[in-house]
């Protein structure tokens, strides 16, 4: 996509040449299309795809727009190589069931057992794997290799992260793409995701606030408690706020913004992309409804209002002083993670000093 005369003039010939290179490598136009939209002339399409006012490359699979856009170098070679990588088949075929015991359990694995590749069940599995290939490892076994796992017919299982975590079986119809995709996405994309400098930009681009647990990397106990309480209290808020966890040492600067240091971790905060708000105390996480009220107070504007004008007359906000009857005006810390959002210089990202986050 492109908008603005300068952006069009600079990128048009590069994209055109990259398209020619790709067409030579992959002449089958039934499986790969490269399209160009002038956002100045087609603003309706542009606004539905991206709110950025610069040329943007988006990837679509099976009619669905992928969250991860192309962020690499703007050159013919780099773009053509990216498309070549996307053409690599997303499923690894297992030659024996013994290979299942050697899968990397630090990653999320989805394994399908099919009688044949030429089946509607496997074609659905392929579509799902194509869309979620960046979030899960997909494997498949066929025929005699998979026979012992197909007692009740074709079968798909999910192997979660961790050596001693039990497998989960897909119980829906494998011919139903929507059901298979929703189940797989739920397994491949965790409710609480880790934010890093590598994925921070794409998470920010999703455009919804962050609820972040800052914790020491080795402190898995607080992370597990946070994950449990998010699942218990905040599952209904999924889609209106991103649940994340961050390494205290790597994200020292956002902690300083809220007057905290790694020594204070674990710390929970909301970044609304305007301001940052601190949850009262990590120990309060297990109090029924406490963390949910914190999130609801963000949506209602109460956190912002009370930071600027002091506590509401009738109650106090989690993380804020008790109501003393006096109006205490203050200003919440500015958003720190907003700096990770795509900018006019997004494609010179290697020159950006991320230590200034």
Domains of the chain and any CATH numbers: 5-86 (3.40.30.10), 91-188 (3.40.30.10), 192-356 (3.40.30.10)
Percent of all residues in the chain with a pLDDT value above 90, rounded to a whole number: 50
Specify the pLDDT at position 130: 92
Is pLDDT of 191 > 70? yes
For 39-55, how does the pLDDT look when each residue is reduced to its tens digit (9 = 90+)? 777 777 767 666 555 67
Report the C-alpha gap between 203 and 198 in whole angstroms: 10
For 246-274, how does the pLDDT look when each residue is reduced to its tens digit (9 = 90+)? 999 999 999 998 999 999 999 999 999 88
- Contact partners, residue 343, CB within 8 Å, separation at least 6: none
Is pLDDT of 80 > 70? yes
Per-residue CA distances from 193 to 113, 150, 287 (Å): 29, 33, 23
Q: Between residues 139 and 56, which one has the greater pLDDT?
A: 139
Report residue 309's pLDDT band, with 50, 70 and 90 as the boundaries.
low
Average pLDDT value for residue range 122-141: 95
Specify the pLDDT at position 62: 77
Q: Which two tokens stand for residue 253?
A: 């600067």
Buried b (16+ CB within 10 A) or exposed e, 278-292: bbbebeebeeeebbb
Q: Between residues 1 and 283, which one has the greater pLDDT?
A: 283
Report the C-alpha gap between 291 and 298 in whole angstroms: 11
Question: Mean pLDDT, the chain, as a whole number?
Answer: 83
Specify the pLDDT at position 308: 65
Is pLDDT of 112 > 70? yes
For 195-238, how does the pLDDT look when each residue is reduced to its tens digit (9 = 90+)? 998 888 888 878 899 999 999 999 999 999 999 999 999 999 98
Specify the pLDDT at position 13: 85
Is pLDDT of 307 > 50? yes
Report the C-alpha gap between 255 and 251 in whole angstroms: 7
């Amino acid at each position: 996509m492109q908008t603005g005369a300068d952006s069009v003039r600079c990128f048009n010939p590069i994209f055109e040449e990259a398209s020619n290179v790709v067409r030579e490598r992959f002449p089958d136009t039934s499986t790969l299309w490269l399209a160009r939209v002038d956002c100045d002339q087609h603003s309706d399409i542009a606004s539905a795809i991206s709110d950025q006012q610069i040329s943007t490359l988006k990837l679509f699979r099976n009619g669905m727009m992928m969250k991860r856009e192309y962020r690499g170098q703007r050159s013919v070679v780099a773009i053509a190589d990216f498309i070549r990588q996307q053409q690599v088949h997303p499923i690894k075929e297992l030659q024996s069931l013994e290979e299942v015991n050697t899968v990397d359990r630090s990653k999320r694995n989805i394994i399908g057992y099919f009688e044949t590749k030429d089946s509607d069940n496997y074609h659905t599995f392929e579509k799902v794997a194509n869309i979620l290939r960046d979030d899960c490892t997909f494997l498949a076994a066929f025929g005699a290799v998979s026979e012992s796992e197909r007692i009740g017919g074709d079968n798909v299982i999910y192997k979660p992260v961790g050596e001693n975590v039990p497998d989960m079986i897909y119980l829906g119809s494998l011919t139903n793409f929507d059901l298979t995709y929703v189940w797989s996405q739920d397994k491949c994309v965790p409710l609480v995701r880790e934010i890093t400098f590598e994925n921070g930009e794409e998470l920010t681009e999703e455009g919804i606030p962050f609820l972040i647990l800052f914790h020491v990397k080795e402190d898995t106990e607080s992370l597990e408690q946070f994950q449990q309480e998010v699942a218990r209290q905040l599952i209904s808020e999924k889609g209106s706020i991103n649940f994340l966890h961050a390494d205290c040492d790597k994200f020292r600067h956002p902690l300083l913004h809220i007057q905290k240091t790694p020594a204070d971790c674990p710390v929970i905060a909301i970044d609304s992309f305007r301001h940052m708000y601190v949850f009262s105390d990590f120990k309060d996480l297990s109090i029924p409804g406490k963390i949910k009220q914190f999130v609801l107070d963000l949506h209602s504007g109460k956190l912002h209002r009370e930071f600027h004008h002091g506590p509401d007359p009738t109650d106090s906000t989690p993380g804020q002083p008790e109501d003393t009857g006096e109006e205490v005006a203050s200003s919440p810390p500015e958003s720190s993670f907003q700096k990770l959002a795509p900018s006019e210089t997004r494609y010179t990202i290697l020159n950006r000093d991320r230590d200034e986050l």
